[in-house]
Amino acid sequence: MRAGPSQEDIRRHNLGALLRHVHLGGPISRAELTSKMGLNRSTIMALTSDLTAAGLVREELPRETGRAGRPSLVVRPESARVYVFAFDVGPDRIAVARVGLGGVILDRRESVRDRGKFELDELTGVLSGFARQMRRKTRADTVCVGAAAAVSGGVRKADGVVRFGPNLMAEEVPFGEELGRRLGLGLPVSVGNDANLGALAEHSRGVGAAVRDLIYLHGDVGIGGGIIAGGHLLGGHDGYGGEVGHMVVNPGGRACGCGSNGCLEAEVGERALLESAGRFRAGQHGRDAVRAVVEAADRGDIVAQEALIRVGDWLGLGVANLVNVFNPEMVIFGGMLREIYLGSAAHVRTRLALHAMAPQRERLRLRTSALGDAATLVGAAELAFAHVLADPLEVLARANA
């Protein structure tokens, strides 16, 4: 006979669930928590007292209810006190943010990155240096409860090793371990693929907040993807799943950084667009170069328009395949794909009409990222908060020790 969950397990689960409501939804009254969580008033009161005593939330009288009777206390996250570090490593840019409980970006540093080899020492040195600068500015009663990084590449979930990252020129790099050592906070650094974390961010706080089945497509040099199915991120057996950028759409097509040909990334990525538009030159790349093509097309530049049609065509074909397989409610275009989609939406839709099956596309919504360039960083923060949401009191006790 298997024992059921203990009282302690149930309490831990309820504490995490309550904190998650406050973290993702913002200030909420005890009365609303009672109805949302399906627990009685005295249980909610006991849970909020525990979280208040731990310094994770505080309770306040609401400002003005306009209703007679005793108002229900409002539970707020202690955003200025409890925070995580979020890191984002892209081909052209690195960013660090100190993010408070409730998802508030309290402080942020950013730096451009040369598209050269992945220098582990140098990179983790800069990132941890930024974090130290921010930490020096915090009040004495603040507490860091986690750290996580988004990386443009395939990451082994178990230990944060970047297995492959052709666009970062990274291969088998023990990134999470080294960043954790350099930070010296006694905290492990969780590492995730940037597009997966972008999906998580849009699902938690962005355009896909109430959507249980969505696909987030992220473009920088390459194309990444994150698939949320039934409210959960699809990671695959080892965490490498969701690499939609390497879905082959054109077997005889352009060479891809992964070693294959005609991947979605090879046909839609930055280089494909710039070459098609006759604008591929050394040193001219990144978001500004992509934006320049879309703006030129807007102004009536025929070559730029044709480049966008070509890329939009392949993008639509890729999305059609994904829609047929996963039947998402929403597909979200983020990173530079935001600009590319806005510049080629008609062609993406034409391809969908031709290749996606009717039942799958009937209620499909195509959207651009609500969090914009912050999506991957916000996703890293959510990954960093995962531990404290799973076991609030234990993680806080450890952080305070």
Point out which residues bind Zn ion (CB under 5 A): 246, 256, 258, 260, 263
Report how far residue 194's alpha carbon sits from residue 377's, in angstroms, rounded to the nearest whole number: 8
User: Where does 229-301 have alpha helices with state H?
Assistant: 264-268, 270-276, 286-298
CA-closest candidate to residue 105, choices 95, 115, 114: 95
Shortest spacing between CB 279 and Zn ion, in angstroms: 22
Q: Least distance to Zn ion from the beta carbon of 268, Å?
A: 11
Among residues 258 and 303, whose Cβ is nearest to Zn ion?
A: 258
41 phi, psi to nearest 5 deg: -60, -40
Q: Which tokens go with 164? A: 């492959």
Nearer to Zn ion, 182 or 246 (CB): 246
Give the span between the Cα atoms of 219 and 224, in whole angstroms: 6
Report the nearest approach of Zn ion to the CB of residue 266 (Å). Answer: 6
- Rounded to the nearest whole angstrom, what is the least distance from the CB of residue 256 to Zn ion in the complex? 3
First to last CA, the chain: 38
Structure tokens at 185: 């906070």
**248 or 366: CB nearest Zn ion:** 248
Q: Identify which of residues 4 and 251 has a Cβ nearer to Zn ion in the complex.
A: 251
Q: How far is the CB of 90 from Zn ion (least distance, A)?
A: 18
CB closer to Zn ion, 170 vs 294:
170
Q: What are the residues whose beta carbons fall under 8 Å from the beta carbon of 313, sequence distance 6 or more?
A: 344, 347, 351
Complex with Zn ion: residue 138 or 260, whichever CB lies closer: 260
CB-wise, 206 or 335, nearer to Zn ion?
335
Residue 246 CB partners (closer than 8 Å, separation 6+): 256, 258, 260, 263, 264, 265
DSSP 8-state assignment for residue 336: T
Short-list 98, 79, 86, CA closest to 26: 79
* Chain Cα centroid distance, residue 30: 30
Q: How far is the CB of 55 from Zn ion (least distance, A)?
A: 47
The Cα–Cα gap between 357 and 303 comes to 32
Cβ 379 to Zn ion, closest distance in Å? 23
**Crossing angle (nearest 10°) for helices 30-37 and 41-53:** 120
* Token duo for residue 88: 């984002």
Taking the complex as a whole, the smallest distance from the CB of residue 163 to Zn ion amounts, in Å, to 14
